[in-house]
Amino acid sequence: MEPLEVNGDAPRLTGLRCDAILCVEYRHAGRLVEPASTAHLCFDGGWHRLYFDFGIVFWRPEERGPQSFDAPELDSSYPVVDVAALRGLLGVRLSHYEMAPIEGGARVTLAFENGHHLTFSSVDDITSYHDA
């Protein structure tokens, strides 16, 4: 397995309060293709974009969260899903997070003070998330 490659500065989020975790889905012809083409994390008012490209973890600072949009010329849509709200993570502090290579890609796991773990996994350039 290749060592983990990180592009950009991994943010210091430990101990910060979760304000939002928004994922931009990619849908084609109404079918979900990628649950998290990008993830946008807001902790204590600071926005960070997390995304993956063939096993590389990318971090970018942002001014604000994403907006849903449609691309009818491609028969595609990109709805935003509020993952933190759906999992009761709003206002919960982050204990820590871990980044690691996995077979076919990479993963980032967020560990919250309430014991909840949320993992973003990118395998074969498709990113999804699940409770760990």
Residues 60-100: tens digit of each pLDDT: 999 999 999 999 999 999 999 999 999 999 999 999 999 99
Strand pairing category for 31-43 and 18-28: antiparallel
Instruction: Find the length of the chain.
Output: 132
C-beta atoms surrounding 115 within 10 Å: 8
Whether the Cβ atoms of residue 24 and residue 10 lie closer than 8 Å to each other: no
Side chain identity, residue 19:
D
Read off the pTM: 0.95
Q: What is the domain count for the chain?
A: 1
Confidence of residue 2 (pLDDT cuts 50, 70, 90): confident
Task: State the pLDDT at residue 70.
Answer: 97
pLDDT of residue 1 exceeding 90, the answer is no
Containing structural domain, residue 66: 5-131
Q: What is the mean pLDDT of residues 16-31?
A: 98
CA–CA gap between residue 40 and residue 47 (Å, rounded) = 7
